[in-house]
Structure formats: structure tokens, C-alpha cells
Amino acid sequence: MVPFRMRPMNPPVTSWAGRRVWIIGASSGIGAATARLLRQHGARLALSARSGAALHDIANELANDLASETATDQPHGVTILPLDVTDAAAVIEAAQTLRRLWGGIDLVLFAAGVYQPMRAQDIDPVAAGAILDTNVKGAYNVLGATVPMLRAQGQGAVALVASVAGYSGLPKALAYGPGKAALINLCEALYYDLHPAGIGVYLISPGFVATRLTAANDFTMPALITAEQAAREIVRGIEGGEFDIHFPKRFSRMLKLLRLLPYRLYFPALRRITGL
Ligand SMILES: NC(=O)c1ccc[n+]([C@@H]2O[C@H](COP(=O)([O-])OP(=O)(O)OC[C@H]3O[C@@H](n4cnc5c(N)ncnc54)[C@H](OP(=O)(O)O)[C@@H]3O)[C@@H](O)[C@H]2O)c1
């Protein structure tokens, strides 16, 4: 019997060789690990984050000293474009630099993000605004700077790193969770417009990953994986043309099921699981 295979929701990637990939949030954690993996696969990389020094270290490591601190491209090398995603003008400038250097972009991976636990008893609008500025407005800044270019090219893709924390309300995630829920919804809404235009849209929802972002968590993180494992899941998902790239499956599938429960069952279940 021939196994039933669903058609991929995005054009599959059969080779990364020479693919022009811009990773935003590449200075540490998931973004840096994905940069390392894609570099091994032969992709042409541009790396962004606020910390130019950290980007430079990674680029040096990746390109065997081929990288430059400025936005000068090296054939099959690594381009460094330090920026703050909350600065729309800086993001536009970086995208224009890449258009000049590369002539286009094949994949934009938005992996920038910040996290701060927040509960109702210490709700802080300023801190919440800062989280949403980076995690959500930052994504709009990147999309605003790149989607017109991708549409003009008639090919390419955008990938947004959301989180399973966006599936449904979780304790201590008063600002982070709603921001990630916004990114999930944003990817879904983008798909209607970009898929018919030949542009891929990847929604990436990791569970717990051991990075700087989760280092301060004071609880045992279930199904914790490494940034390298996360990068492998992301790259595998994009290669397969998946829209909904979530992992580790043993955790993300459970949360997907929990959100189907009626609220009167959902809340006690989450309290029991998290102990919060
Ligand atoms: N770790 C987890 O368990 C987990 C789970 C689900 C989703 N995620 C998401 O995965 C993404 C990557 O997080 P991570 O775990 O790899 O954490 P991380 O190691 O702290 O990496 C976050 C990256 O975002 C960059 N960044 C933060 N604010 C920025 C800004 N304003 N402008 C430009 N870049 C900025 C950071 O670089 P600079 O500080 O140098 O700017 C860094 O490169 C985030 O969106 C996070 O929400 C993480």
C-alpha cells in the first residue's frame, strides 16, 4: 500500500547551498544554532541582533575569519548587520543593504525575542510594552522591510519564531504569551496572502529550549531541549515545507490537545501540570 502523504504547505527546500538567509536574533541561542547548522549546509548568511560583538564572534567562527564587522559581503561568507528590531529605520536600512549585496533574500528568519516572567500581582505596563515592542512590533518591522522585496522577487520565505506559550494562556506569561499568540495569528494571516504569491510562511513554535532566555527560570522545564536540537527541528521543518513547525512533539502536541479542552477543564489541568 502506498503511504498517504500530504502535500507540503510551503515549497520544500532541497538544498541550502548558496541560499541567502537573513537570521535576526542570531547572536545567541536558537538563532545562533540555526546559523551554525545552515552554514554547515552551505547557506549564505546575514546575521542580525543588537550585539555586534557577539555577531562578529559567531561570524568569525562560521566563516573562518572571512567575516567583516561592517556590511561587506564575502562570497559564500557571512554578513553582519547589527540592529535593534524595534528601530524600523535600522531594519529597513539592513534589508536594503542585503538587496544591494545579494540582489534578494531567500529566507528571513525572525528569531529575536525577549522574555520576562510576569504575573497579575506584578503587572508592569512598561516592561510588557518592551517585550511586545521586540517580540511583536519587531516582527512587523522585519516583515515591513522584507515582504515587499519577497513579493517583487516572486519567491522566498519568512519564518517567525513564536512559542508554544502562544497556544493558550500560561501562568507567569502575562506579556510574553500574548505576544507569541500574536505571532501565531500573524503567520496564519500572512499565509493567505503570501502562499498564492509563491512566498513561504513558516510558523515556528518551540517548547522549552536551554538558552539565555530560559536560564533564569526557577522551575524544572518539561521536555527541555538544546538550541542545537531546536535548530535541527527548524531546518528539518523548513526543508519539508511545513507551515507549523513545533517541537519537541511530546510537549507541543500535549499543549495543542490541552487548548482544545473547555476552559473549566483547561485551567485545572494547567495548574496541575505547572504547579503554578
Ligand atoms: N528558549 C526557549 O525556551 C524558547 C521557547 C519558545 C520560543 N523561544 C523564542 O525563540 C527566540 C530565540 O530565543 P532564544 O531562546 O534563542 O533566546 P536568546 O538566546 O536570548 O536569543 C534571543 C536573540 O534575540 C536577540 N534580540 C533580543 N532583542 C533584540 C532586539 N531588540 N533587536 C534585535 N535582536 C534582539 C538577541 O540578541 P541581542 O541581545 O544581541 O540583541 C538574541 O540573538 C525568541 O523569539 C524566543 O521567544 C524560545
Q: How confident is the model at residue 70 (pLDDT cuts 50, 70, 90)?
A: very low
Nearest residue (CA) to ligand 1, atom 37:
49
CB-based contacts of 204: which residues, under 8 Å, 6+ apart? 159, 160, 161, 162, 234, 237, 245, 246
The domain locations on the chain are 20-274
**Ligand 1, pocket residues at CB < 6 Å:** 25-31, 49-51, 54, 84-86, 111-115, 134, 138, 161, 163, 206, 208-209, 211-214
Atom of ligand 1 nearest to the CA of 54: 40
> In 3D, which of 211, 221, 212, 213 has the Cα closest to residue 251?
221
pLDDT exceeds 70 at position 34: yes
pTM: 0.95
Q: Out of 1-10, 50-59, 226-235, pick the least confident.
A: 1-10
Q: Is the dihedral of CA 94, 110, 130, 226 positive or negative?
A: negative
Q: Where do we find the cell 546575521?
A: 47
pLDDT of residue 2: 58
Dist. CA 29 → ligand 1 center (Å): 7
Question: Rounded to the nearest 10 degrees, how much is the dihedral formed by the CA atoms of 188, 192, 193, 197?
Answer: 120
Indicate the top mutation candidate among 109, 114, 167 to test ligand 1's pocket, ranked by most ligand atoms within 8 A of CB.
114
Express as a percent the part of the chain with pLDDT over 90: 88
| pLDDT tens digits for range 204-238 | 999 999 999 999 888 889 999 999 999 999 999 99
Provide the CATH number for the domain formed by 20-274 in this structure: 3.40.50.720
